[in-house]
Amino acid sequence: ITACTNEHPMTATAYEPSPGVPACFDRSVFPELLTLAGDSGAKRIIGKRRHEVIAISCPEASIDIDTLADYRKHFDPTR
């Protein structure tokens, strides 16, 4: 959170192929975020404004969990 500044108003997790969510946004980015629809919009803003992003390495962030089946696929100790 402290990495967000006026010079770098976005902090995003870095994993292949490019930085994305989870991410932290400064208030200056809120108007653009409010125009988004769907679940891929924030990543699009991060890519478009990449020169304003501080990327923090976090390969684990590439795991996408939307359902119980997704959770079990990644974290079920009995599988």
In a domain, 36, yes or no: yes
User: Structurally, how many domains does the chain consist of?
Assistant: 1
Q: How far is CA 28 from CA 5, 13, 34, 39, 47, in A?
A: 10, 19, 11, 21, 17
79 pLDDT above the threshold of 70: no
In a domain, 5, yes or no: no
> Could you read off the pLDDT of 13-24 as tens digits, one per residue?
888 777 877 889
3 pLDDT above the threshold of 80: no
33 pLDDT above the threshold of 70: yes
In a domain, 24, yes or no: yes
Assign 1 a pLDDT band (cuts: 50, 70, 90).
low
Give me the domain span that covers residue 23. Answer: 10-75
More confident residue, 76 or 12: 12
Task: Tell me the mean pLDDT in the region 39-57.
Answer: 85
In a domain, 4, yes or no: no
